[in-house]
Structure 1
Amino acid sequence: MKALLFVWRTGFVTFLLALASLLATPQPPLAQSSSGAAVLAPKASALENDSRVVISTELVSFAVTVTDKEGRYVPGLAPTAFTVYDDGVRQEISFFSDRDAPASVGIVFDVSGSMTGNKILRAQNALARFIQTSHPEDEYSFISFSDTAKLLLDKTRDSETLLSQFGNVRPKGNTALYDAVSLGLETIARGRYAKRALIVISDGEDNHSRTDFGHVRRKVQEAGVTIYTILIGPLLPRSNGGSVMDKLATVSGGKSFFPRNDEKMSEDFEQIALELRRQYSLGYTPSNPTPDGKWHRLKVEVEPSLTARRTIVRTRAGYYAGNFSSQNLSVVAANGAPTIGQETVIDCCADEDPMADCRKNEFSSQELCR
C-alpha cells in the first residue's frame, strides 16, 4: 500500500498528498521522524484502507545553511529553532528535514581561451576532492562554456566519467558565462533529487552571452537552485567578474569562493560538498498565497538561545509567487509510519518567460549582501 506525495514548485510548490482518513479529520501537527524529517504524520488506518484523498496546497520550500562565525556548521537544530518570514510576515513551518540526502549537482566549467596553463588540471583535482566528500548517491551533470555553452554529461553517478570530461576540453574562445548558468539551471531542473546545486568555475567575466545578467539572475531567483561560484585566476572579488559571480551565489543562498592556491581551492570544493550534506530543508504554506507573480523576500532566523554559538543563516533571497519549475521534495513519515513519497520525482517543465522584464525586481549589491 502506498501513499503518494507529489511536490511541484518554483517559489510555490503543489503539494499533493494521497491519504485516506483526512476527509473527516484535521491534519495532525508537525512531527519529527527518526530520520531527521518532520512532516504531517498520517494515521495508520489511512494507509490500511488505501482509499485516497488528494489535498492540494501551495508550499514554498528552500534550503537553509546554518554556521557559526568561524564557518562551522551547526547541526541538530529542531524545527522550533527556526523562524521564517515572507515579506516580513511570520509563517508557520509545515515541512522540515535535516537528513543527509543525495543531490543533483551541475558543474558549469569555463573553457575559454584564458583557461590555459594548469587551470583545468587544478579544477579537476579540486573536483575530485569534492566527489570524495559528497554523498555517494549524488548525480552529476557537466557543462562547458566558451563562445557557447554545451551540455557534455547529463545525470551520471559515475565520478570517473565526470572527471574524465576535463580531459576532453580545450581552452579557446570567449566567455559566455550567463548562457552557461542558464543552461545549467535548465539541466538541473531535470534532476532526480530535490536537493539541487550548481558549481560555476570560471576565471573571468562574461563577454559573449546572448542573455544578460538581469535575465539570468531572474532565472536563478525562480529556480530555487543553490549556486556556488569558484573564481580562479587573476580577477579579484571586487572586480566586475567577481562581483557578478558573488551576486549569483548570494541571491540563491549559496556562496562564492576566491581561492588563492591549489590547496585552498580543494578546501573550498570540500566545503561545498559538506554544506550540501548538512543543509536544512524548510517549507511553509504562505499566509497570503496569491499567485500574482510578485517578488517575495524570504528571511530565516535561528533562535539564539537554542545554540551555544552565534549563528549565521544563509538561504535564497526570495521567490516569485506563482511561477512553476521542476523542484520537488522528498518526505519521510513521522512516528514510525510507512514512508510517504520518499525520493518521489516528478518532472515538470519550467514556465519561464524569456521576454520578462528582469530589472523590475533587481536588488542593489548592498541588499544582496545583507
Structure 2
Amino acid sequence: MKIYTKIFAIICIGTMLVSCGNADDDVNFDLNGLGGLGKGKPVDKCLNLGENDLILSIQEQYTTLPGKVSILFKVSDKEGSPVPGLTASQFTIYEQGRNDACFNTISTSESKARISPNSQIFNNNAVLVLDLSNSVLSSSLDELKSASVGFVNSVMPENTTDSFKMAIYWFDGENKLHDLIPLTASKPDLVAAIEGITDNISKDPSTDLYGAVIKSTDIAEKLLQESTKNNSIGAASVVIFTDGTDQASRYTQNDALKKVENANPNISFFTIGLGGEIDADILTQIGKTFSVFAGNKEELETKFNDISLKVSQQANSFYLFEYCSPKRDGSGENNLAIQVKKGSVQGAVQTKFSANGFTGGCE
C-alpha cells in the first residue's frame, strides 16, 4: 500500500438544535466521495459482532515499516450524527491470516494501539458568507456581528494552525462576492474584520443571494483543490447567512441549486436564515448539509452556535487509529476488522493490509 506522509482528517460542517435537518446525512457524506463504509466493507459473519449501531467509514489506510498499520476513518451513528471523543481503549482489533479460519483478537496494549490526532494534517477551509444588504445593515447588524464573532471563536482552533483556515465574504445587490478577509488561520484577524463592518459598507441595497451561492461554491472548489495537493485529504465548508430572498434576479434559482448539487462531495453547505421574509425551502436546499432559522435577531447567536457546535463534532469524529501488527513479512495480505464500542452500542468495519517487509517492533 502506498505510504502517505501526510494524513488529514476533518469536516465539513453543520448542526441544528431546532429547525431543519436535511437529507444529506453523515453516513453518506464521506470524505473522498465515499459512501457507507468508505473503503471498508461489512465484517465477516464468523465474528458474530451483531448489528452496527455505529458506522465506521474508512477514508484512507497505509502501512509503515517495520510493522505499523494506520487506518483513517470517520465514526457516525445510524442517524448520521458524528461520534466524537472516542479513545483507543474503546476499539478492538481483529486480524485474520491465511492460516486462520476466522479472526484472532489482537491485544490493544501489546500492539501499542493508539488514536493519533497529532499525526493528522488538518486541511479544512471554511467560507463564511454574510448578507449585508440594506435590511440587515439597518436592523440587525450588531446582532450579526456578535453572532459571527462567536462563530469564529468556536470554530477556529485555539492554537493557530495552517491546516485550519477561514475566509469571510459578503454580498449585497452587486454582481460580486465582496472579500471581507481572505483565507487566514488567524482568529484575531477574522474577528477584527467582522468588528470593522459598518452600516455604510454596501452601496447596493438589493440582495444577490443566488449569485453569492454560485460564487462561494466556486471559491470553495478552488480552496479544496489547493488543500488536497501532495497526497493530503481535504474538506471545505460554505456557511451562508441571509435575512431574505434573492431580489437581484441576476441568476436563477435553478442555477444556484444545481451549483450546490453538483459541487465536490467534500464540500458541506449550511444556511442560516433570519426573519419572516426568507424562503425556508430554498435555504434548506442550498444548505443541504444543515440549515437553521432564527425567528428574530435575538436568536441569531444561538443559531450560529448550533452550526459551530457541529463543526467541532465533525472534526473530532475522524480518527487515525494505529497499531503494531504481529504479522510478519511472508504472511502476505491479511484481513483486518476494527470494532468500536460506546456504551451499549457498537460498530465494526473490515479491510485488508499487506504485511510485506514487516519485522518486529514499531516506530
Q: TM-score, normalised by structure 2?
A: 0.51
Which of 214, 217, 232 aligns to 1:185? It is 217
Is the contact made by 2:31 and 2:235 (CA closer than 8 Å) also made in structure 1?
A: no
The runs of at least 4 aligned residues of structure 1 exceeding 4 Å deviation read 2-7, 10-15, 27-30, 61-69, 76-80, 97-102, 305-309
Is the contact made by 1:68 and 1:74 (CA closer than 8 Å) also made in structure 2?
A: no
Per the alignment, in what secondary structure is the counterpart of residue 177 of structure 2?
strand
Aligned ranges for residues 224-235 of structure 1 at < 5 Å? Answer: 224=265, 225-235=267-277
Distance 1:226 1:64, change over 3 A: farther
1:275 Cα shift?
A: 0.9
The superposition leaves residues 221-240 of structure 1 with CA deviations (integer Å, 9 ceiling, x where unpaired) of 2323211111113326xxxx
Aligned ranges for residues 61-100 of structure 1 at < 5 Å? Answer: 74-76=83-85
Which of 183, 195, 199 aligns to 2:239? It is 199
1:189 Cα shift?
A: 2.3
Is the contact made by 1:108 and 1:142 (CA closer than 8 Å) also made in structure 2?
A: yes
2:283 is the counterpart of 1:245? yes
Amino acid at match of 1:166: I
Amino acid at match of 1:229: T
The equivalent of 2:171 in structure 1 is 145
Q: Distance in 2 between matches of 1:147 and 1:116?
A: 13
1:6 Cα shift?
A: 9.7
Distance 1:68 1:245, change over 3 A: same
Distance 1:231 1:67, change over 3 A: farther
Amino acid at match of 1:160: V
2:182 is the counterpart of 1:154? yes
The equivalent of 2:303 in structure 1 is 268
Q: Distance in 2 between matches of 1:132 and 1:186?
A: 25
Amino acid at match of 1:127: S
Is the contact made by 1:103 and 1:139 (CA closer than 8 Å) also made in structure 2?
A: yes
Distance 1:12 1:227, change over 3 A: closer
1:135 Cα shift?
A: 3.1
2:291 is the counterpart of 1:256? yes
The superposition leaves residues 140-184 of structure 1 with CA deviations (integer Å, 9 ceiling, x where unpaired) of 222222222323132022323431452372364221111111111
The equivalent of 2:155 in structure 1 is 134
Aligned ranges for residues 205-220 of structure 1 at < 5 Å? Answer: 205-220=245-260
The superposition leaves residues 97-155 of structure 1 with CA deviations (integer Å, 9 ceiling, x where unpaired) of 99895631111111223224331221110011111211324422222222223231320
Contiguous gaps of at least 5 residues in structure 1? 16-26, 31-35, 48-60, 81-96, 283-302, 310-335, 339-370
The equivalent of 2:312 in structure 1 is 277
| Larger radius of gyration between Structure 1 and Structure 2 | 2
How many residues are aligned here?
237
Is the contact made by 1:65 and 1:278 (CA closer than 8 Å) also made in structure 2?
A: no
Is the contact made by 1:102 and 1:135 (CA closer than 8 Å) also made in structure 2?
A: no
Which of 133, 142, 167 aligns to 1:121? It is 142
Per the alignment, in what secondary structure is the counterpart of residue 114 of structure 1?
helix
The equivalent of 1:175 in structure 2 is 207
The equivalent of 1:359 in structure 2 is none
Q: Distance in 1 between matches of 2:300 and 2:91?
A: 34
Q: TM-score, normalised by structure 1?
A: 0.51
Distance 1:107 1:155, change over 3 A: same
2:63 is the counterpart of 1:42? yes
Q: Distance in 2 between matches of 1:233 and 1:275?
A: 23
Per the alignment, in what secondary structure is the counterpart of residue 143 of structure 1?
strand
Amino acid at match of 1:154: P
Q: Distance in 1 between matches of 2:33 and 2:294?
A: 40
Is the contact made by 1:28 and 1:42 (CA closer than 8 Å) also made in structure 2?
A: no
The superposition leaves residues 65-90 of structure 1 with CA deviations (integer Å, 9 ceiling, x where unpaired) of 75989x9x64357999xxxxxxxxxx
Distance 1:180 1:209, change over 3 A: farther
The equivalent of 2:194 in structure 1 is 163
Distance 1:308 1:165, change over 3 A: farther
Q: Distance in 1 between matches of 2:193 and 2:73?
A: 27
Per the alignment, in what secondary structure is the counterpart of residue 166 of structure 1?
coil
Per the alignment, in what secondary structure is the counterpart of residue 210 of structure 1?
coil
Q: Distance in 2 between matches of 1:109 and 1:260?
A: 17
Is the contact made by 2:172 and 2:202 (CA closer than 8 Å) also made in structure 1?
A: no
Q: RMSD in angstroms over aligned alpha carbons?
A: 4.9
Contiguous gaps of at least 5 residues in structure 2? 9-28, 43-56, 93-115, 228-233, 320-338, 346-360
Is the contact made by 1:232 and 1:259 (CA closer than 8 Å) also made in structure 2?
A: yes
